[in-house]
Each structure stands twice: as C-alpha cells, then as structure tokens.
Amino acid sequence: MSDAIYTLDAEVRTELGKGASRRLRHANKVPAILYGEQKDPISLTLEHKEVIRAQENEGFYSHILTLNIDGSAVECILKDMQRHPYKPKVMHLDFQRIDASHKLQTLVPIHFINEEKANAVKNQGGTVAHQMNEIEVSCLPAHLPEFIEVDVENVELGQTLHISDLTLPKGVESVELAKGDDHNHAVLTINAPKGSSEEATEEAAE
C-alpha cells in the first residue's frame, strides 16, 4: 500500500461539544483528538471520505500514520475508532503521538496461513478455532509490524498454539507475555472432529 494512504490532512478545531461534532458530521467531516508524548491534546477535524478510504486498508490500524496539521507533520498511531451502529460512517478517531526513541504499545492483526494445508485439517477432519485475531505488542516505532504471520501447516490435531509459540519480528515483544506465564494465552487450536475418539477429544479440549 502506498504511503499516501497513511497520510491524512487534519485541521485544528476550536468548536467543541456534542453539537459542534454533530455539525461536523453533517458536513462530511470527522471529529478527532490527538494526544500523548506529554503534550496537550489537540482536537482535530478530518475529511470523512479520506478516512473511509484509509480505513479500508488493514495497515491503517497498525501502521505509523502522518497527520498534516495546518502545515505541520505529526507521526501517530490510531488508538480508537468509533463507528455509526448501522451506517457506513466513522464518528470519531483517537490518535496517539509517537516518538521514534520511545517504545509504543498497540494491537497488531494476526494473519493465519496454510490452514487448508494442515494435515490435521486436510486429512483428519479437524477444524481450526481462532482464539485471537490480534496481539498487543511493544516496540519502537521503526520496528512496528503491520501484522504477525502464523503458519498453521504443521499444527497437529488437538494442538493449541500459544503466544509463546509465535515468532515475533526482531525488536517486537508481546505485552501479555511480559506480564508472566499466566498470560501466555491461546492463539489457535485445531479441534478434533465430532464423533472422534474420546482421547482425541480430550486432547483438543486441553
């Protein structure tokens, strides 16, 4: 994806409150806030069509973004996006400033590959169950991956992959694992098919 997708123009907004935000949305704009790095929060306005175009790309949620704010470029990450409950409309955005020398914590999507090639699925009738589709990582901005890839081809029937089984890029750490072994959560399991032996079923449950 081109870097242009990761760059958005923003304007500082001075009118605050629910009424002001509602007027912005009627004008096809999105209210937003930029905070972090021990600086004062800034209320912003972005063009809705530009936000919609950008958010269609998965990398928008985990990539380093650039906000052009009244001529000044600010690097940040998206921390939260509020959507309309049933309309294809973005209601509000939260951005967090980043510093190249400071580690950040953010969620990164997990990409599962070769599920259909796994012997446990292809020949043994197992079904893949995803316990996690994203993982929180800690790293310097320069090391932030767009996604974490998990190869399922060699996962066996009844086997569960945990966070500790994932191969994270250099300089990237799991936030949960840093809390201790009790936070080594399950990521994926290949469950035995219904009607299989009691032993296989117990292994899948484990």
Confidence (pLDDT) at 2: 47
Contacts of 15 (CB under 8 A, 6+ apart): 23
Decide which of 74, 97, 120 is a domain's last residue. Answer: 97
pLDDT confidence bin for 37, thresholds 50/70/90:
confident
Could you give the number of structural domains in the chain? 2
The reply to whether 200 and 116 lie within a common domain is yes
What one-letter code names the amino acid at 116?
E
Domain boundary among 97, 118, 141: 97
pLDDT at residue 204, rounded to an integer: 46
Mean pLDDT of the chain: 87
Residues 6+ apart with CB under 8 A from 56: none
Containing structural domain, residue 23: 3-97
| CATH number for the domain that contains residue 10 | 2.40.240.10
Query: pTM for this one?
Result: 0.79
pLDDT at residue 45 is higher than 70: yes
Sheet holding 134-139, edge to edge: 148-151, 104-113, 134-139, 173-174
Query: Tokens 């292809």 belong to which residue?
Result: 122
Range 43-68 average pLDDT: 89
Q: What is the pLDDT of residue 14?
A: 75
Classified as helix, coil or strand, 144 is coil
Q: Is the pLDDT of residue 105 over 70?
A: yes
pLDDT > 70 in the chain, percent: 86
Contacts with 191 (C-beta within 8 Å, 6 or more apart), sequence order: 126, 127, 128, 129, 158, 204
Domain boundary among 64, 97, 130: 97
d(Cα 22, Cα 9) in Å, to the nearest integer? Answer: 20
